[in-house]
Amino acid sequence: MSEKNFSEFAQKLNLVFKDESLLRLAFTHRSYLNEHREEAHRGHNERLEFLGDAVLELTSTRFLYDRFPTHQEGDLTAYRAALVNANTLSEVAARIGMNDYLLLSKGEAKDLGRARQILLANAFEALIGAVYLDQGYDGAEHFLSRYLFPKIDEIVKKRLWQDAKSAFQEKAQEHEGETPTYAVLREEGPDHDKQFVMGVYVRNVLVAEGEGRSKQEAEQEAARAGLERKGW
């Protein structure tokens, strides 16, 4: 379905856009335009995602700086990584109903696994970029304060900010007597928005995969998935 009611989405979140074309753009994946050439002039959401990523980093850093006045840089960096990773962003995006409004190719629309999580996380960043362009820094900060920043309570309570690689290595040595290794499984996306898929192995057996914008981030995601897979 190509026609979606983006005004309806905005109303659900109490968002009022002066330029609603920005909202549509935030939901438009590159693949959608391959099947709807007549809409190619509208563009896709990668530039908005690029902008939203920067806005997200600044606003989340300021939020954490104010929220935890006695915590050191290392803790704040770990908190931020857990708050803005693809898992958290895709979870929030799904909760606010973004999945129902994504403009995707038929092929992309069929994939409901990890690839859909990444699409949702990217679209959420694009939405941040759209809100920023339409309503400025204060508007973007207000949006994130309502829908993303409250996640920090769960992150701190469940210690989701801890270094997953260190935890997985500790458990692998404890239970298997082996040190895990990591390898690049594939690289996806354009150069300015590269996604790395890393695999974590124990005894040369692939335990889990993880995806991120750097090899280090992808390794952390793989380790986190490995901990869940192994029940550690």
Q: Which residues are catalytic?
A: 53, 125
What are residue 211's DSSP bridge partners? 197
Tokens 């806005």 belong to residue: 55
Q: Report the candidate in 124, 157, 158 with the shortest Cα–Cα distance to residue 26.
A: 124
Q: 3-24 burial string, b = 16+ CB within 10 Å, else e?
A: eeebeebbeeeebebeeeebbb
Q: At what angle do helices 86-95 and 114-147 cross, to 10 degrees?
A: 70
